C-alpha cells in the first residue's frame, strides 16, 4: 500500500479507509467502490476556504447517504432522462 503524498490526500485517507477500519467494518465502509456504503457530499468550491459554501444548495453538486443518491450528479440525471425518453 502506498502512502498518500500530500496532506490533503493523507487527510482524505484518514477519514475514509481508516474510518472504516476504526468502526470495525472495513469490508463495507471506508472506500468509494461498487458495493460499498457511502456518505458523500461533493461541493462546487472549497469549504476550507469558506465554510458557508455548505449552506448554498446550488453548490452541493452530489449528496449520497448510505450508497443512495439524494442529489445525483447532473450527468446522471441527463443520462436517466435520455434513457426514459427512448
Q: What is the pLDDT of residues 63-83, one digit of tens each?
A: 988 888 889 887 655 455 444
Give helix then strand counts, H and E, for the chain. 3, 3
**What pLDDT digit, counting tens, does each position of 37-52 carry?**
878 888 999 888 999 9
Local confidence band at 16 (pLDDT 50, 70, 90 cut-offs) = confident
Local confidence band at 5 (pLDDT 50, 70, 90 cut-offs) = confident
For residues 45 and 82, state if they share a domain: yes
Q: Which residue carries 449520497 as its cell?
A: 64
Q: Which of 4, 30, 8 is nearest to 17 (CA)?
A: 30
Domain, as residue range, for 14: 1-37
For residues 71 and 84, state if they share a domain: yes
Local confidence band at 27 (pLDDT 50, 70, 90 cut-offs) = confident
For residues 32 and 50, state if they share a domain: no
What span, in angstroms and rounded, lies between the C-alpha atoms of 62 and 76? 10
Mean pLDDT computed over every residue of the chain:
78
For residues 45 and 85, state if they share a domain: yes
User: Of all helices (H) and strands (E), which one includes residue 69?
Assistant: strand 68-71
Q: Which of 67, 43, 69, 38 is nearest to 56 (CA)?
A: 43
For residues 32 and 48, state if they share a domain: no
Specify the CATH number for the domain of residue 67. Answer: 2.30.40.10
Amino acid at each position: 500500500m502506498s502512502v498518500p503524498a500530500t496532506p490533503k490526500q493523507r487527510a482524505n485517507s484518514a477519514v475514509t479507509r481508516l474510518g472504516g477500519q476504526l468502526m470495525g467494518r472495513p469490508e463495507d465502509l471506508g472506500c468509494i467502490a461498487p458495493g460499498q456504503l457511502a456518505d458523500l457530499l461533493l461541493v462546487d468550491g472549497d469549504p476550507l476556504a469558506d465554510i458557508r459554501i455548505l449552506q448554498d444548495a446550488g453548490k452541493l453538486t452530489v449528496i449520497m447517504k448510505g450508497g443512495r443518491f439524494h442529489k445525483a450528479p447532473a450527468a446522471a440525471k441527463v443520462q436517466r432522462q435520455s434513457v426514459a425518453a427512448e
